[in-house]
Amino acid sequence: MNITVCNPLLRTPLSLIVDDSCPVINLTYYWIQQRHAWKARHQPGVPPDRWEGNAAQLKKIPPTIPADFAAEWAEWCWENGVKGKFSLIPYPAGVGRVDEGFPAQVVEKSSTLEYQAWMRVYRELIWPSFDLTPEMLTHTAVVDLDTFALTEEWEQVEWVNPPVDNRLTDYIIAAMEILDNVGIPCEGVTSPGAFGKRQEAAYAKAVLTASQHVNNNPRPFYFLWLKNDELPDVPIWYPEKENGVAIASIVACAGDWFGGWTGYDLGDADRFITEDLQEGRLPPILEKELPCVLVGHWPGFYFNGEKCGFEILKTVKTRLDNYDPDGTKTLWMKTSEIGHYWMARELTDITVLPVGVVSNRIQQINLSTQFPTANFTLAIDAPIRHVQVNGWDLREVHSRRDFQRDTFLIEGNQQTFIAFDLEIGETQLALIVA
């Protein structure tokens, strides 16, 4: 009897990553302003590179993004089942700490009321569908942890190659603690730009250590890689099988083709998936049933109030719905859920006992894991008449549309799929072969 672990409920994971988001502040406005000021101090006379933003566009960029827009966006995601990850930069551009409430007059047009409205949207509308993560501390300059003053180094420039001693771990701890101070135990972190990329092993270790320290969370994730030219994977680092400890690298495969990080570089839905569902980055990945993680940037969805990036998201979602009209091919997940599923997939021991150990009719399979996950799905290369998980009967269904947790499905009279929530410890499957 051959057993394989399949995608959850036989559906390809979909997830939307939103970067550069924070309460009140439009990160792009401050990022470009601070970068150009830095440039004038350190490289006078050298014009900014394209990646450093266009000063001429600054006049159009508002310093804040309204909570009303965040509510509209998040309600749409909720109603349409879009899930993923949404950043909450803890000390955006060094303007104010989110756990100190952004006092009035910190930024133009901002007020305590607007900050409170934003935090309500985060907690009530975004969090149910998205993991909330820090994107380090400021997403601009590196912070001196003793004084919380900004230094002349940049999180996404110098700290692409960060110090690999305790400073890196302390830095991530500081970011996680600010979120914890506002009642948000984060499931992982997001790299601002390429933060940590040249020291990925040390970075992954530091995130894992910080997550255990601040949130007692032994199975976090980090988002660092966007690969638009390779097939995606979910690498698992530092697995400790017996202790249930590991960290997942969530690798995105598509983006940013909404509105860019700038909020003035308009993308195109066709680059994700064309209207005829044949072209674009996503169809070949969906075809291979690999996790499709899309990336967008918060200022790009807002697009200086024109909401053009948000419109592209709506178009992409409509096309993905057309690709999967009965909901049997894809499954929107939070990024932490993808990480947990891949940990369970790789780090669960599955033992098929010889027939006859329990009885001549019953095939017993033992699963042992410290990595729980929802919708754990197995394929068995035999038609099974009856399935029990830890003594509970699963219900047989007859179509993929009805295939949910605690059911099983026989296809082609030769293969059986079984789905259930995998819990920590031992799980016993008892199967009666048809």
Shortest CA distance to 157 belongs to which of 49, 263, 25, 248?
A: 49
Strands 141-143 and 150-154, bridge-based pairing: antiparallel
Give the type of residue at 271: R
Stretch that binds Zn ion, among 18-26, 364-372, 403-411, 420-428 (CB under 5 A): 18-26
Residue nearest Zn ion, CB atom distance: 19
Cα 337 from Cα 344, distance rounded (Å): 11
How many other β-carbons are positioned within 10 Å of the β-carbon of residue 321?
13
Residues 193-252 interacting with Zn ion (rule: CB under 5 A): none
For Zn ion, the closer of residues 92 and 192 by Cβ is 192
The first and second tokens of residue 341, run together, are: 């599923």
For Zn ion, the closer of residues 89 and 380 by Cβ is 89
For Zn ion, the closer of residues 7 and 304 by Cβ is 304
For Zn ion, the closer of residues 20 and 337 by Cβ is 20
**3 state SS of 269:** helix
* Per-position x/- string for 310-349, each x denoting binding to Zn ion as judged by CB under 5 A, each - no binding: ----------------------------------------
For Zn ion, the closer of residues 195 and 342 by Cβ is 195
For Zn ion, the closer of residues 254 and 419 by Cβ is 254
What is the closest distance, in whole angstroms, from the C-beta atom of residue 277 to Zn ion in the complex? 30
CB within 8 A of 406, min separation 6: which ones? 389, 392, 394, 395, 419, 420, 421
For Zn ion, the closer of residues 85 and 281 by Cβ is 85
Cα 348 from Cα 422, distance rounded (Å): 10
Stretch that binds Zn ion, among 11-19, 369-377, 389-397, 399-407 (CB under 5 A): 11-19
Can residue 155 be called a binding residue for Zn ion (CB under 5 A)? no
For Zn ion, the closer of residues 192 and 267 by Cβ is 192
Cα 192 from Cα 375, distance rounded (Å): 32
Single residue of 5, 15, 20, 203 touching Zn ion by CB under 5 A = 20
Phi, psi of 430 (to 5 degrees): -120, 120
What is the closest distance, in whole angstroms, from the C-beta atom of residue 192 to Zn ion in the complex? 5
What is the closest distance, in whole angstroms, from the C-beta atom of residue 191 to Zn ion in the complex? 8
Stretch that binds Zn ion, among 19-27, 38-46, 59-67, 353-361 (CB under 5 A): 19-27
Stretch that binds Zn ion, among 16-24, 208-216, 238-246, 269-277 (CB under 5 A): 16-24
For Zn ion, the closer of residues 189 and 285 by Cβ is 189
For Zn ion, the closer of residues 19 and 114 by Cβ is 19
**3 state SS of 322:** helix
User: How many residues line the site for Zn ion (CB under 5 A)?
Assistant: 3
What is the closest distance, in whole angstroms, from the C-beta atom of residue 53 to Zn ion in the complex? 13
What is the closest distance, in whole angstroms, from the C-beta atom of residue 18 to Zn ion in the complex? 10
What is the closest distance, in whole angstroms, from the C-beta atom of residue 316 to Zn ion in the complex? 20
How many other β-carbons are positioned within 10 Å of the β-carbon of residue 433?
15
For Zn ion, the closer of residues 192 and 283 by Cβ is 192
What is the closest distance, in whole angstroms, from the C-beta atom of residue 261 to Zn ion in the complex? 6
Cα 209 from Cα 335, distance rounded (Å): 19
Long-range contacts of 122-125 (CB under 8 A, 24+ apart): 122/23, 122/70, 122/86, 122/88, 122/184, 123/183, 123/184, 125/70, 125/71, 125/74, 125/75, 125/78
Contact of 280 with 274, CB cutoff 8 Å? yes
Contact of 281 with 322, CB cutoff 8 Å? no
Contact of 399 with 417, CB cutoff 8 Å? no
Burial class (CB in 10 A: 0-12, 13-18, 19+), 41: exposed
What is the closest distance, in whole angstroms, from the C-beta atom of residue 17 to Zn ion in the complex? 10
* Per-position x/- string for 159-198, each x denoting binding to Zn ion as judged by CB under 5 A, each - no binding: ---------------------------------x------
Tell me which H or E stretch contains 17. Answer: strand 12-19
Single residue of 19, 114, 155, 256 touching Zn ion by CB under 5 A = 19
- Contacting positions for Zn ion (CB under 5 A): 19-20, 192
